[in-house]
Every structure is written in C-alpha cells, then in structure tokens.
Structure 1
Amino acid sequence: MKFDYKRDLKRLIVVVLASILMAVNVKIFVRTGGLYPGGATGLTVLIQRVSQLYLGRELPYSIINFTLNAIPVYIGFRFIGKKFTLFSLVMILCSGFFTDLIPEHVITYDTLLIAIFGGIINGVVVSMCLSVDATSGGTDFIAIYLSQKRGMETWNLVLGFNVVILVAAGILFGWDKALYSIVFQYVSTQTLHTLYRAYQRQTLFIITSKPDEISQMIYDVSHHGASIMTAQGSHEHKQYHVVYSVIGADDAKKVMIKIKEIDPHAFINSLRTSEVSGRFYMKPKD
C-alpha cells in the first residue's frame, strides 16, 4: 500500500470534513425530525431509539455504527482496496466520534424542511467521500464489492435493506416518520446524482473525418474503447465516419473538449445511458 502524501492528505482532510458534516446532520436534522437515513447510519439511529424505548438508555452512536461496519470493512480490506477502505474507516470512526461529541441543536421542527435539507446535506457528504475514493461505510462496501467483483446489480439490494429499516421504524415509532424518511433518502439520492457522476454513463456518437485519432484519444482519457462505423449523409450523400463509445459521465466533458481539439468540425451527440450490459471498465479502488 503506497502513499502519495499530497493527494492522501487532501483525501484525509475531505473525509474528516465530511464526517463532521455528517455528525452535524445527524444531531441537528435527523434526530430532531425523528428520521431514518439509509444504510448503516439509519440502522444505527434505529437501534439507538429501540434501546432508549425498551432499555431506558441510549447506546453510543459510535459503538453501534462501528459494530455494524465491522464486516463491510473486512470485505473492503479483503476484496476492494486497502487505501480505499482505510479512508472509509477514518470516515466511520470520525463520524461516530463527532456524533457522540456534538450536542443536539434544533433549527426547525418542520419535518418536511428537515427531510429536504437533511437529505441535501447527506447527499453532499456521500459525494464528498466518493470524490476522494472513500465511502461513509455500511452498504456502500457491499454494493461496490458485488457490482465490481461479481458484476451484480446492487440497487435492489440496497433498496431492500432500506425498506426493512423503514418498515421497522414505521411499526415501532409511527409511519409518518418512515414516510418523511423516504423524502430524506430521495433528496439525498438526487443530490448525489447531481454532484457525483462517476457511476453514470454517457454515450457519444461522433461524426468526424478523424475517427482513428478520436478513438485513440477516448481510450487514453477514459480507458474505454470505441467502434468506428461508416455512414452516408442524407442530403449530400457524402461518406462520413461515426465513432460510437460509452464512457463514464465524469470523463464526458474532457473527452468532448479533446474531440474539438482534434477535429473542430466534428459533430457530437451525447446521450445519458441508464443501463449497460457487458464488459465496462471500472477504475479499481486503491
């Protein structure tokens, strides 16, 4: 496990800031609104409230959260990437520590406002972690392992886990909080999709006179291949080359700029791709 001290210091700073922001979100929004975020965080909050209801005392957030993340962290070290898991572990430990340390504070009692703004903050936190190759723990480890190593679709698995948490919360503490928690999770997901695009796909159709140069550039920038097709214009009946490629959405802007440098007259049609089946290069976690 090699360290790039400048890059890794930046990663550490971002992870610590994200952990503080997550702790603030839990103590100011999640606790006040009685909401249940997705994943290990939501399960931790649920266990805390069950403990308070039946045992008369609230267990520390950090202890529960770390216990729930023990197996996912092992999976991360064993199968995903050691540095990736190390920074994720820092996120888990720091967020637990700061959540126990920071006092509760009420900004508003309006549950809808809490669900919306708490969801936005949660999405920002997750995107901050992912942007520096880390996660907030829990189901993220399992989802990455199953999608990258096993080629499995993980959306339904994560959704099912969150549904179990919400059903349990609804039965124990009231369905209104469970329903507001769905709003929280939806807003969080939409915020994440807006801020972090590495797991999104973009399809490019490029009409160009320099197909070989553009195809090589796409591979150099994104590590994705391309297909070259011949097409005929319907108006002038001239022969053209069409370069077809599916790349990560986070690389799309860089690729399109390079295309214009290679062929200023190229015509580019960029489409958002919702699903890809087959081999698709994913940058391995370190």
Structure 2
Amino acid sequence: MPTNLNILEEAKKFTITVASAALLAIALNFFLIPANVFASGFTGLAQIIATLIPVLSTGIGLLLLNIPVAILGWKKVGKSFTFYSFINVAATTFFLEVIPVQTISNDIILNSVFGGVIAGIGAGFVLKYGASSGGVDILALIMAKHSDRPLGVYFFMMNAVIVMASGLLFGMEKALYTLLTLYVTSRIIDAIHTRHVKLTAMIVTKKADELQKVFYERVVRGVTRIPAKGGYTKEDKEIVMIVVTRYELYQLQQIIHEVDPTAFTNIVQTTGIFGLFRKD
C-alpha cells in the first residue's frame, strides 16, 4: 500500500511535471512562435507541422506526435517515466491552447534566448524529477537500447532535422536563431539537471543484497559489488557500482533513499562505456 510519503512524492512530481509544461507553453507562445524560431525535439517538429498545415495547432500536433511514442515507451522504456512524460505533453498541449500567442518583443535574439531559457528551465526540472517532455527523449532511449551508440547521437540527428527545416521554411538566418535557441536550452538543462547522458553511481552501503534486488526489479541494470571497510568505524561494507542514464537518476535516488537512507552515494560522469549496457 502507498505510504503518505509516497503519495506526497508523487504529488510533487505531478505538480512539477505540469508546471514545466506551463513554462514550455509560455516559451513557445510568447517568444518562439511569434519569432518563427523552433524549439527542440517533437515540439519543434509540431511547430513545423503547424506552419505547413495552419489548421493544425502546435499543441494538437505535439499531442498527436507523442501518442504512438507513448505507447512504445510504455512497453519498452518504463511505465512511470512514460506516464509522467505523457502528462507533461498533455499539459503542454492544454497550456498552448489556452495561452494566447502574443509578441513580447520584436527582437529575434531576445526571443531566441528567452524562449530557450524558459524552455530549458521547464525541461530541466521535469528531467530532474524522473520524466521528460516526451517525444525525442523516449525515442532516443528506445533506439539506444538496440545500439551501442550514445544517446547524444540521436538527439543531434533529430534536432538537425529541425534546424534544416527551419532554414528551408524561413531562410538560413532563422535556422541560425533556432540553433541559438537549442544551444541555450541545452545549457540550461545542463545547469539544472546534468549534461551527461550516462552516469556512474558508487553506493557505499551495508545493504548491498537489498539494493541489488531492487535495482534488478525497477531499474533493470546490472551492478558490480566491491568489498569495502569504513575508514573510521572499521565496519565491513560494500560498494555497489551501477551505470544509469540521466533519465534513471531520479529513480535511482528514490530507491537508495527507500532501501538504505544512510548509504553514501557518489555520482560521477561517464564519458564512455564498453560492453553490454542495453536493457534486454
């Protein structure tokens, strides 16, 4: 049965997911859409579709694009991650429809930068709490499961399509401003969450068996266990080492807090891995 703490945690996660959607909608309707500058991922793709098919709004296009991806994500990525990601998409669609598109500034640089900053804040916080803004994030995770290429390759390829489309529709100058927005958004996400797609957690604990069991059940990653001894207490412990994606970091933190709140965890960047990492 869910505890009051779990209910409170889920309520906080839901609130942040919806609030981040509101920020993305504000970034689009106040800055990016009036300036004909595109956001990253499926949001940018929805803007392109809305430009080519004016009867279809950006919000509805975003929702339609994410429905098949959400079904795939539910089966192949994880139910909690996909559920909250789709909640974020649905809330973004709602806010895009109810918040009117209006021009705050005619300066395209200001629109590109402020739109990127606000969108980055929204995306960064939803990532920090174990979800995403859907679309590209889920697709990249699915593709990375069947390839040893890093997730960043897929993000680059998908966003390259957005930039090229921007150039074809509005000219190369708008494509450069779209690049500026993508850069600002990524830097803000880096500052709030993490720039590294893969991370290594080294957990010093006396409950290695329990942690390993829950990791296998809920994160589906292998672990390496290393004998250790407390420098001050001289107690026998173990270091449980596990490599995760940045999308799994929040879930990892929750598991450690539930199983062994006294564990010491060191999270370090992983610039590359060799060997099997994919989920089966």
Q: Deviations over 1:92-136 (max 9, x none)?
A: 111011101101232222222222222122221111111222111
Structure 2: distance between partners of 1:19 and 1:200: 25
Instruction: Identify if the C-alpha distance between structure 1 residues 133 and 2 changes in structure 2 by more than 3 Å, giving closer, same or farther.
Output: farther
**Match of residue 155 from structure 2:** 158
**Match of residue 225 from structure 1:** 224
Is 1:62 equivalent to 2:59 in the alignment?
yes
Give the secondary structure class of the aligned counterpart of 1:201.
strand
Instruction: Identify if the C-alpha distance between structure 1 residues 279 and 193 changes in structure 2 by more than 3 Å, giving closer, same or farther.
Output: farther
**Match of residue 137 from structure 2:** 140
Give the secondary structure class of the aligned counterpart of 2:190.
helix
Where structure 1 has 5 or more consecutive residues not aligned to the other structure, the ranges are 52-56, 205-212, 229-242, 261-267
Instruction: Identify if the C-alpha distance between structure 1 residues 199 and 172 changes in structure 2 by more than 3 Å, giving closer, same or farther.
Output: closer
217-226 or 75-84: which moved more? 217-226
Larger Rg: 1
**Match of residue 35 from structure 1:** 37
Instruction: Identify if the C-alpha distance between structure 1 residues 164 and 247 changes in structure 2 by more than 3 Å, giving closer, same or farther.
Output: closer
**Match of residue 6 from structure 1:** 8
TM-score, normalised relative to structure 1:
0.71
Structure 1: distance between partners of 2:77 and 2:102: 37
**Match of residue 240 from structure 1:** none
TM-score, normalised relative to structure 2:
0.72
Is 1:181 equivalent to 2:178 in the alignment?
yes
Give the secondary structure class of the aligned counterpart of 1:106.
coil
- Matched AA of 1:95: T
Question: Contact between 1:30 and 1:118, CA under 8 Å: does it hold in 2?
Answer: yes
Where structure 2 has 5 or more consecutive residues not aligned to the other structure, the ranges are 216-222, 228-238
**Match of residue 44 from structure 1:** 46
Instruction: Identify if the C-alpha distance between structure 1 residues 44 and 215 changes in structure 2 by more than 3 Å, giving closer, same or farther.
Output: same
Is 1:80 equivalent to 2:80 in the alignment?
no
Q: How does 1:209-220 map to 2 (within 5 A)?
A: none
Question: Contact between 1:166 and 1:178, CA under 8 Å: does it hold in 2?
Answer: yes
Structure 2: distance between partners of 1:131 and 1:279: 26
271-280 or 57-66: which moved more? 271-280
Q: How does 1:123-138 map to 2 (within 5 A)?
A: 123-138=120-135
Please, what is the CA RMSD of the aligned residues? Answer: 3.7
Is 1:105 equivalent to 2:107 in the alignment?
no
Total equivalences in the alignment: 245
Percentage of pairs with the same residue:
23
